[in-house]
Amino acid sequence: MSKTQEVDNAAAADVLSEDADEKTLVPLQIEDWLTVIVMGLLSLITFANVLVRYFTDQSFAWTEEFSVFLMIVLALVAGSASVARNRQIRIEYFADSGSEKRQRALARFGAIMVFALFALIAVLSARVVWDDFRFGETSPGIGIPQWWYTIWLPVLSTAIAGRALGLFIRRGRQS
């Protein structure tokens, strides 16, 4: 590869890399603050359970169920943040090689595929929430309505799909 091609590839990679300050319609700080809040809640719940277990040889029954729920929320919020910042996992050999036009096309293709996947997850999981609500399903650990947990999957999947659509649009404007 010639020196000119290396410089062109590096410039194209810089163009496609997401700037943390890139303007988005919905502020990127939403995911950042949700991450802080969820991590804080997880830490508090776990610490409280450890203290109670240490001093009383008992534990809060609800902590495991609620912690699992918060970890799932955390994974989905982190997914939304990675999509918004264009930091999803990709095979760099394919994504960062070739012409700038090819790299943009692959970036847009990846964004629209993420959009399609999470839009589908949102639709299908909304049906699960409806079934949980309609049939009165309760959580196995503490017996609260199951839809209190499952409602967040379609909500956060819609958020990820929206972030992917925004990335697709932003990459199209760069052409």
d(CA 111, CA 84): 10
The pLDDT, as a whole number, for residue 61 is: 77
pTM (predicted TM-score): 0.82
CA angle 75, 77, 82 (to 5 degrees): 90
The pLDDT, as a whole number, for residue 18 is: 44
Is the pLDDT score of 161 beyond 50? yes
User: pLDDT digit string (tens) for 99-158?
Assistant: 888 888 998 999 999 999 999 999 999 999 999 999 999 998 889 999 999 999 999 999
Highest mean pLDDT among 32-41, 45-54, 63-72: 32-41
The pLDDT, as a whole number, for residue 15 is: 44
67 phi and psi, to 5 degrees? -65, -40
Band (98; pLDDT cuts 50, 70, 90): confident
- Give the start-to-end residue ranges of the domains of the chain: 3-13+24-173
What is the pLDDT averaged over residues 75-100? 88
Cβ atoms of 133 and 175 closer than 8 Å: no
